[in-house]
Every structure is written in structure tokens, then in C-alpha cells.
């Protein structure tokens, strides 16, 4: 006699695990909801703060070189110093609230106060200039000084929070969902970009304080919610390791040997950094580029909104492709397409219409690359040391941005503000990135490929 399922049979819900955390489908949905709300707050800050800050600093009549120094170079120097420290420390922290949440609590006030201060910089600069006398301290000098103080405060909080937030995702999201999850992250980022650029960017120069105050409130609400609602699991003890490797010198040696000791990780980092540089020159100087050919800022905001709308429609499906085909492969395709867009920028921009078309293509292809490669580090670095390895990559990213932004800004000044040169840099980094990604892919296949890849271990040499 055959015994089949009865009416009373109950199918057990599927369970997903990451570390000691377990989730049902409902649990995954709740986790995604809280993290995506926090990501919306983060993305609104990322999409809006730098753009509005660029408009503000432009009103102070700074040179391209000084702009690159303040907005790009100095913040990346803080990345080089701070990210490795906080990533190493948080990865080894064990506490009641987890290893990432305490650091997010710490960073939130710096980001919030920084944005409020930047918004008030013109008002505070005027007060300082009037109080000290314009002959002693001009409005431009006073406002720029206030701007820099709060910009560096914002950058301090952002630098620390960025690495910790990504590491938190790696700790609490099951590996099977990483590609789609980052696709949804990308969608939140795009929604934030659409709302800001379509409705607010065109009026930003008349409403600096209101915009920065709004960003501060949303950011604080989003990250306080994450800190209260997202729970971390238990992590392996690190007591023995800390007893063996005490002191700054020993910790620094361990950090660099683990992160850069294996040639595979060096290639992984080099490829990611090079591909990431491709879009930086245009993004950094797009506002100045647009003004140089007579494009209105309201139109620039609309172009960005159209870009984000197209990218929004693609984001989740691109995340699925990254899960299906691996971010190395999808990254190769998308960075090749960006190289083609850069070549089009060199040869075909002749006025506002062609600028708009290339700018939108630039945004869509750049966004596709970052969505398709968003889980690149998570798929290739050791999971338990992800924050540490990711911070090592951030060091190289920051160093490269410092160098590229300084050189590009200087070249643009020397060329008489010939902003078309940004496309040459984009093409160069795109095709170099393709070559480096092909090396990573070959090594990935040698380490087991899709079926059996295990992140290679790096051990300290016996002393």
C-alpha cells in the first residue's frame, strides 16, 4: 500500500541561514524592509549632498584644482587613514549589540550635524565676516572655511559608516540573496536620485539650508531605525587571536599580510579600483562641464532623473543576472559598454542634445556596472574578514581617487577648462579595467570557479 501526503501534512517553511541567524521568507522580507529604508536615507544623502555641496562651493568661486582638493582629495585621505582602523576594530569587536551596530550609532551624529552645518555655511560665513570685518575676513573666506569644517565632519561620519553599513549587510543577509539585495539597494538609490534631481536640484542654489536640513533629518531617522531594528548574530571568539597579535605594529602587519599577501586578492582589488575610476572624471566635473556648454542646472537635474528612472527599471533584473552569472562576468560586459560610451563622448558631443544623450547613457551604463558588480567583493573575499578586506580595497580606491582627482583637476585648469578630456580618462580606465578583470576571472576559475570556489586563506608567517 502506498502512503502519500495526508490532509494534515504541513510543509515546513524554508529556512535561510547566515552565520547563527536564521530567516523564513517573512523574516527576509522584514530584514530587507529595514535595511532598504536605511539605504534610502543613505542614498538620498549620497545623491544630494555632494551635488548641492558642489553648487555651494562653486558659488565661492574656487578653482577646479581647489574644488578637487576639498571635495575629492582630502576626504579620500581620511578614507585611507580611518577605514582600515574601524573595519579591523569592528570585525574583532564582540558586544551586546553586535560588532557593526555600535559603530553606526557612533557615526550618525557626525553625518547629521555635518549636513546641518554645511547648509548654514553661507549664513554663518556672513555673520563671521560682518563680526570680524570684511577687510580682515571676506565673506568668501569665512563661508568657505565654515563649509570645509562641516564638510570634513560629514566626510568623517560618512567614511566610517560606509564600510560598516556594507559589512553589516554582509553579516546579516544570506549569500543566496546578495545580488538581488544589492539590486534592490540600487533601486532605492535610484528612487532617491529621481526624487531629488527631478524636483529639488533645480532650486538647490536658492534653498541650501532647507535641503541639507531635510537630508539630515531623513538620514538620522533611517540609521537610528537600522540600529534599533536590525539584529546581528553571534560571531566566533577572537580572544586567542588578540592575545597573540597585540599592539599597533602587530595588528598593522597582520592586516596588510592578510589583505595583500595573496596575489589573487591583489588582482581582485586592482581590477575593482581601475574599473571604478572610469566614471569618476565625468561625475566629478559634470556640473562645470554642463555650464561650459550652456546647459542649465535644471536640465542637468532632469537628465539625471531620466537616467535614474531607466536604471530603476533595470536594477532588480541586473541583480538577478549578477546572482546567475557572477559579478566578474557581468562586470566585464558592463565596463566594456562604458568604454564605448566614453569613446562616444570623445567624438560625438557637439551641443546640448548630444551632451544629454551621452550623459544619460553614461549614467545608465555606470549604474548597470555598479549593480552588476555590487556583490563582487562579497563573492570573492573571505566572509568572516569581509570588512577588513573591503577596507583594504577602500584604501586603494581612496589613494587612486586622490591621485586621479588631483591630476585631472590640474590638467583641466592647464587646458583652459577643456572638460571633454574627462572622456579620454574614462576610456583609458575602462579598457585597463577589462584587462585586469580578465586576469581575475582566470584566477577565479583556477580556484574552483562557480562550482567550488573557496576564498584562499592567507596566514601570518611564523616569527
Residue 316 near residue 32 (C-beta atoms within 8 A): no
* pLDDT for 112 beyond 70: yes
DSSP state letters, 39-74: HHHHHHHHHHHHHHHHHHHHHTT--HHHHHIIIIIH
Beta bridge partners of 16: 23
Distance between start and end Cα atoms, the chain: 69
Q: What is the pLDDT of residue 240?
A: 56
* pLDDT for 297 beyond 60: yes
- C-alpha to C-alpha distance for 101 and 128, rounded to whole angstroms: 38
* Closest C-alpha to 456, from 195, 263, 305, 222: 263
* pLDDT for 332 beyond 90: yes
CB < 8 Å & 24+ apart, contacts of 253-259: 253/460, 254/460, 255/84, 255/88, 255/388, 255/392, 256/392, 257/458, 257/460, 257/461, 258/385, 258/388, 258/389, 258/458, 258/460, 259/388, 259/389, 259/392, 259/458
Report pLDDT digits (tens) over 177-216.
Answer: 877 787 788 788 878 888 887 788 878 888 899 999 999 9
* pLDDT for 72 beyond 60: yes
- Write the secondary structure of 118-169 as one string of H (helix), E (strand) and C (coil): HHCHHHHHHHHHHHHCCCCCCHHHHHHHHHHHHHHHHHHHHHHHHHHHHHHH
- Pairing verdict, β 16-18 and 21-23: antiparallel
* pLDDT for 339 beyond 80: yes
* pLDDT for 25 beyond 50: yes
Report the 10 Å Cβ neighbour count for 27.
14
Q: What is the pLDDT of residue 7?
A: 53
Q: What is the pLDDT of residue 198?
A: 78
Report pLDDT digits (tens) over 366-411.
Answer: 989 988 888 898 889 987 788 788 888 988 988 888 788 788 888 9
Which 8-state DSSP code applies to residue 21? E
Q: What is the pLDDT of residue 264?
A: 94
* pLDDT for 118 beyond 90: yes
* pLDDT for 109 beyond 80: yes
* pLDDT for 461 beyond 60: no
- pLDDT range class, residue 1, cuts 50, 70, 90: very low
Section 44-50 average pLDDT: 88
Residue 218 near residue 41 (C-beta atoms within 8 A): yes
DSSP SS3 for 92? helix
Residue 358 near residue 349 (C-beta atoms within 8 A): yes
What average pLDDT is seen over the chain?
A: 86
Residue 380 near residue 444 (C-beta atoms within 8 A): yes
- C-alpha to C-alpha distance for 332 and 434, rounded to whole angstroms: 6
Letter string b/e over residues 136-159, b meaning 16 or more CB atoms within 10 A of that residue's CB = ebebebbbbebbeebbbbbbbbbb
Write the CATH number of the domain with boundaries 19-447: 1.20.1250.20
pTM: 0.69
Q: What is the pLDDT of residue 10?
A: 56
Q: What is the pLDDT of residue 336?
A: 97
Q: What is the pLDDT of residue 33?
A: 92
- C-alpha to C-alpha distance for 433 and 427, rounded to whole angstroms: 10
DSSP state letters, 321-373: HHHHH-HHHHHHHHHHHHHHHHHHHHHH--SHHHHHHHHHHHHHHHHHHHHHT
- C-alpha to C-alpha distance for 278 and 326, rounded to whole angstroms: 21
* pLDDT for 272 beyond 90: yes
Percent residues over pLDDT 90 in the chain: 37
Q: What is the pLDDT of residue 11?
A: 67
* pLDDT for 246 beyond 70: no
Those residues whose C-beta lies under 8 Å from the C-beta of residue 249, and which sit 6 or more positions away, are none
Residue 17 near residue 174 (C-beta atoms within 8 A): yes
Amino acid at each position: 500500500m502506498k502512503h502519500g501526503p495526508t490532509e494534515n501534512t504541513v510543509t515546513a517553511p524554508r529556512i535561510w541561514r547566515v552565520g547563527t541567524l536564521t530567516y523564513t521568507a517573512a523574516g527576509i522580507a522584514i530584514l530587507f524592509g529595514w535595511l532598504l529604508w536605511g539605504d534610502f536615507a543613505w542614498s538620498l544623502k549620497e545623491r544630494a549632498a555632494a551635488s548641492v555641496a558642489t553648487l555651494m562651493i562653486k558659488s565661492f568661486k574656487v578653482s577646479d584644482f581647489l574644488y578637487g582638493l576639498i571635495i575629492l582629495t582630502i576626504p579620500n585621505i581620511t578614507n585611507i587613514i580611518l577605514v582600515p582602523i574601524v573595519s579591523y576594530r569592528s570585525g574583532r569587536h564582540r558586544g551586546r549589540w553586535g560588532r557593526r551596530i555600535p559603530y553606526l550609532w557612533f557615526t550618525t551624529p557626525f553625518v547629521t550635524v555635518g549636513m546641518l552645518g554645511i547648509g548654514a555655511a553661507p549664513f554663518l560665513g556672513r555673520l563671521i565676516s560682518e563680526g570680524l570685518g570684511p577687510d580682515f575676513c571676506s565673506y568668501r573666506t569665512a563661508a568657505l572655511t565654515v563649509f570645509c569644517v562641516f564638510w570634513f565632519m560629514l566626510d568623517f561620519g560618512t567614511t566610517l559608516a560606509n564600510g560598516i553599513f556594507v559589512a553589516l549587510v554582509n553579516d546579516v543577509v544570506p549569500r543566496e540573496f546578495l545580488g538581488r539585495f544589492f539590486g534592490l539597494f540600487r533601486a532605492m538609490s535610484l528612487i532617491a536620485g529621481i526624487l531629488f534631481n527631478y524636483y529639488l536640484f533645480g532650486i538647490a542654489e536658492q534653498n541650501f539650508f532647507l535641503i541639507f536640513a531635510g537630508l539630515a533629518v531623513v538620514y538620522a531617522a533611517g540609521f537610528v531605525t537600522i540600529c534599533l531594528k536590525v539584529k546581528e548574530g553571534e560571531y566566533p571568539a577572537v580572544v586567542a587571536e588578540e592575545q597573540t597579535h597585540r599592539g599597533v605594529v602587530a595588528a598593522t602587519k597582520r592586516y596588510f599580510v592578510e589583505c595583500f599577501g595573496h596575489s589573487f586578492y591583489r588582482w581582485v582589488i586592482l581590477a575593482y579600483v581601475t574599473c571604478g575610476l572610469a566614471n569618476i572624471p565625468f561625475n566629478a566635473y559634470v556640473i562645470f562641464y554642463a555650464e561650459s556648454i550652456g546647459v542649465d542646472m535644471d536640465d542637468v537635474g532632469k537628465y539625471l532623473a531620466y537616467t535614474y528612472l531607466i536604471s530603476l527599471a533595470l536594477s532588480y533584473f541586473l541583480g538577478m543576472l549578477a546572482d546567475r552569472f557572477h559579478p566578474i562576468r557581468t562586470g566585464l560586459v558592463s565596463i566594456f559598454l562604458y568604454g564605448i560610451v566614453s569613446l562616444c563622448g570623445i567624438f560625438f558631443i557637439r551641443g546640448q542634445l548630444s551632451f544629454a544623450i551621452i550623459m544619460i547613457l553614461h549614467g545608465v551604463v555606470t549604474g548597470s556596472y555598479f549593480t552588476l558588480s555590487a556583490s563582487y567583493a562579497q563573492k570573492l573575499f573571505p566572509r568572516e574578514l569581509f570588512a577588513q578586506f573591503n577596507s583594504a580595497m577602500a584604501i586603494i580606491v581612496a589613494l587612486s581617487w586622490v591621485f586621479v582627482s588631483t591630476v585631472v583637476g590640474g590638467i583641466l585648469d592647464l587646458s583652459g577648462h577643456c572638460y571633454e578630456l574627462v572622456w579620454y580618462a574614462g576610456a583609458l580606465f575602462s579598457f585597463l579595467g577589462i584587462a585586469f578583470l580578465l586576469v581575475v576571472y582566470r584566477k577565479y576559475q583556477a580556484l574552483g570557479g562557480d562550482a567550488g570556489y573557496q576564498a584562499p586563506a592567507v596566514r601570518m608567517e611564523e616569527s
